[in-house]
C-alpha cells in the first residue's frame, strides 16, 4: 500500500493526511484514482457493516466483496460556518443555526469520523429546547411572502450564472483545495473578486432567482474561505499550505470574520 510512505497508520491515519497522500499520488503518477481493497474481509461482514456503500457500489457495477473500490478525494465536509453558542444561537436575535452550516467549535482544525452527525443531533436538540423555553408557543411569526420572480428575463444573459458557478467550483478545487500555496490562494482571490463584481452587477439588474441568490452566496463564502486561508501563516489540520508546512503557536486559535 502506498500509504506506508506517508504514515505508519496507513489508511487509518487522520483523514487530512490520507487525502493529501492520495492527492500527491494522483498528481505524481497521473492515475485517475487509487483503490481501497476489502476483498480479504468476510463477505457477510462487509454486507452487514457497510450496507450503504456495498449497495451503492453494486448499483454501479462494483461488488466490493470481490473488486477494489476506486477512491479520489472530494469536498466532503465544512468545519467552519456561522458562529453559534452551545444552544445554536447566532449573534442575530431569534436566528439559530445547526448542522454543517454552523460553527460550534467542536471540530477544531479537523473532524473525527462520525462526530458531525452527533454534533448536528445535539445542537439541534439544544436549539429546540432553547426556543421552547424562551419563546412562547402563542408568539406569532410573520408569514414569509411568496418568492417574486416577476420581471424581464434575458435568456441570452442568464448563461452567466451557470458559467460563473462552474468557474467558481473549478477555482476552489484547483487553488483552494487539499494542498494550498500563497500563489494559488492569491490567484483564487483575484479571480473570485472578478466573479463577485459580475454577479453583483447582474444581481442589481435582473429579477431575483434561486440560482442567482445561490451563486451570490457561494461567491461570498468563497471569498471568506480564501481570506481566512491567506491570513493563516501555518498548516493545521485540514488547512495545508506548502509555504508554511508546520503549525505555529501564533495561530493556535480560531479564525473569526465579522462585518465591519
- Catalytic positions are 15
From the CA atom positions of the chain, what is the Rg in Å? 22
Q: Which DSSP helix (H) or strand (E) runs through 129?
A: helix 115-134
Which residues, including other chains, have CB under 8 Å from residue 98's CB and lie 6 or more apart?
84, 88, 120, 123, 124, 127
User: How many Cβ atoms are within 10 Å of 134's Cβ, its own excluded?
Assistant: 10
168/218 Cα distance (integer angstroms): 8
223/229 Cα distance (integer angstroms): 10
Residue 75, judged by CB atoms within 10 A of its CB (0-12, 13-18, 19+), counts as exposed
| Complete DSSP assignment for 136-185 | -TT---PPPPPP---S---TTTTHHHHHHHHHHHHHHHHHSSSSB-HHHH
Amino acid at each position: 500500500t502506498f500509504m506506508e510512505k506517508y504514515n505508519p497508520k496507513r489508511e487509518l491515519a487522520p483523514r487530512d493526511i490520507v487525502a493529501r497522500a492520495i492527492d500527491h499520488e494522483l498528481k505524481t503518477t497521473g492515475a485517475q484514482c487509487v483503490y481501497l481493497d476489502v476483498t480479504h474481509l468476510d463477505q457477510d461482514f462487509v454486507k452487514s457493516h457497510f450496507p450503504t456503500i456495498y449497495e451503492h457500489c453494486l448499483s454501479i457495477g462494483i461488488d466490493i466483496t470481490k473488486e477494489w473500490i476506486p477512491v479520489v478525494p472530494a469536498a466532503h465536509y465544512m468545519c467552519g460556518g456561522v458562529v453559534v453558542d452551545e444552544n445554536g444561537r447566532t449573534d442575530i436575535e431569534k436566528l439559530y443555526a445547526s448542522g454543517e452550516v454552523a460553527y460550534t467549535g467542536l471540530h477544531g482544525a479537523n473532524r473525527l469520523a462520525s462526530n458531525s452527525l452527533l454534533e448536528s443531533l445535539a445542537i439541534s436538540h439544544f436549539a429546540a429546547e432553547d426556543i421552547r423555553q424562551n419563546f412562547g408557543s402563542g408568539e406569532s411569526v410573520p408569514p414569509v411572502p411568496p418568492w417574486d420572480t416577476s420581471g424581464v428575463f434575458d435568456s441570452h444573459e442568464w448563461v452567466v450564472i451557470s458559467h460563473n458557478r462552474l468557474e467558481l467550483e473549478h477555482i476552489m478545487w484547483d487553488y483552494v483545495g487539499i494542498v494550498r500555496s500563497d500563489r494559488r490562494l492569491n490567484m483564487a482571490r483575484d479571480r473570485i473578486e472578478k466573479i463577485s463584481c459580475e454577479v453583483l452587477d447582474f444581481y442589481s439588474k435582473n429579477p431575483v432567482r434561486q440560482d442567482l441568490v445561490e451563486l451570490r452566496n457561494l461567491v461570498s463564502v468563497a471569498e471568506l474561505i480564501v481570506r481566512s486561508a491567506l491570513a493563516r501563516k501555518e498548516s493545521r489540520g485540514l488547512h495545508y499550505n506548502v509555504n508554511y508546512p508546520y503549525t505555529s503557536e501564533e495561530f493556535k486559535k480560531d479564525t473569526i470574520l465579522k462585518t465591519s
